Structure 1
């Protein structure tokens, strides 16, 4: 940043609502010169919008799906083609939104960019997301498509048996929509994308030159291959074994070999979920597997999202790799023990106490 531009930036920090003329008078510059520096600050992501909203340091921006989860949990062994006694819960969901909520609950600054319908369900979803600490200013409302919905059925052990996802609205999140969010994307410390995004949108993101750390969640074996164009730019890829095989178009069954093969695509580090066997982390210098913590699962919805958020939060806390993986697995376990895709009790203090109680 040039010296004059920095002076304007520092003046705005002291008085974000100041007019261009008052800034010019204070700095003994012309109003036109101040306007030019403000344009540069906006273009490079230091200023995010009207009123001189300043970019925050170490901010996460999550781009992905946001939907309403409707989860049915059978009380007894699930009987196909029949009505099963159980409980039904509605909660906020969507991979990108879930990651954002978990990060916010763990104390991180996070903005969500996601398409949501202009309907009552969408209003409820935005309010619930805002209440958990996520910045919802950059959510994109769609006037005709409904807010995304995810309907899941879990057995008596909390294992997913079937699901239907109405995520048509995610296809509306194209490059033209994201171009309106250039300032927040430019200012982001880390950008997290999920593979729910359309292939063309991921292609566009891969072509951008934002000075940021890219992170991706592979979401599912069907959608994971969409991430191929952006793999070489990723600081971290989170995937399970099926998703990794789909990305690599292979049948490899050795987790360590899978992780190493992902690294050869240009990914800097891999967080490979092994389900009930825990998690494996690999980068150019490390390859460490960590077993799951013991837990009493109620629902496995959102556990992978909590795993990624927990690992990122632990990294922000500068925890050692073994500790970071333990923290991430604890976030996943606490989510497994919740009927919701996001455990409302997820905080750094609670996770730390949960680990200490083992």
Structure 2
């Protein structure tokens, strides 16, 4: 008798899937620095980074994004398959190139970064068609599982998602792509159900004020209408805030060897922990450990 295996839990990952071009040096850097180091090209983007961690820990990420039909896009789609992701619903544009992200990291952290997600922004609502045409869901039968959404989409599309019946039954988890795009998440402050993952700077931008601690930032976001938030603050305590109260956790002390993708790893690890039934404290602690291991150069969890 053939043994039947249970299907992997499915999660939609909506947002940027692109090539990360990262230059890293062991030296401290400042503006104008010219130092030796290593330059790598890896699959990246917020949605992609989240999906990679989810796939490693037993979930089946379904990507909704835009990828060009250029050679870089073909190579990226192949890499996604190899990493355990479902790409059948990816929008493949004939005239838009595959997006890219470029960053410089030194021993003192991220020095500078440029995200070229113009193709994703230009594709707009086309990436969401599988949620209305019956491929994954429809207006009559909305998607009911978890959704990881990133802020690389345009403000107009994020506003549409916040109000769309297609997401009315989803477990919506939302993260900004960067502090520069944090204000795009304002539609989700009044959403009523979405869980926002932000760092201290992003929380301040959303509330239009400065915060000294993650606890103060979480309380500020709840006061502004957010249903639930997770606020990180580098190597300082993080906070899970909701109407039920605040839960805090401290990241383990580690030697930092990389920073790009740490927040995405934190978010994915937290989603997995809650999917496995962890309470708020344990889920936060597991996510902080995963992010710490990631920045130290180890794998997550």
- TM-score, scaled relative to structure 1: 0.75
Closer, same or farther: CA 58–189 of 1 in aligned 2, 3 Å: farther
Aligned length: 286
Distance 2:130 2:233 in 1: 38
- Deviation at 1:215? 1.3
SS in 2 for 1:307: helix
* Structure 1: tracts of 5 or more residues without a match: 1-55, 352-358
- Give the structure with the higher percent helix: 1
Closer, same or farther: CA 286–249 of 1 in aligned 2, 3 Å: same
Distance 1:235 1:258 in 2: 17
Q: Is residue 2:115 matched to residue 1:161? A: no
Closer, same or farther: CA 232–57 of 1 in aligned 2, 3 Å: farther
- Deviation at 1:198? 0.5
- Give the structure with the higher percent strand: 2
Q: 1:1-358 alignment to 2 at 5 Å?
A: 58-78=9-29, 80-81=31-32, 83-157=34-108, 159-182=109-132, 183=134, 184=136, 186-209=142-165, 210-233=168-191, 234-338=193-297, 345-346=299-300, 351=301
RMSD value, Cα: 2.0
- 1:225·1:247 contact (CA, 8 Å) conserved in 2? yes
CA deviations over 1:294-347 (Å, ceiling 9, x no partner): 222211010000101111110011113222112101111121123xxxx6x44x
Distance 2:79 2:107 in 1: 28
- 1:60·1:188 contact (CA, 8 Å) conserved in 2? no
SS in 2 for 1:173: helix
Distance 2:80 2:23 in 1: 22
- TM-score, scaled relative to structure 2: 0.88
Task: Indicate the residue corresponding to 1:42 in structure 2.
Answer: none
- Deviation at 1:58? 4.8
- Deviation at 1:279? 1.5
SS in 2 for 1:273: strand
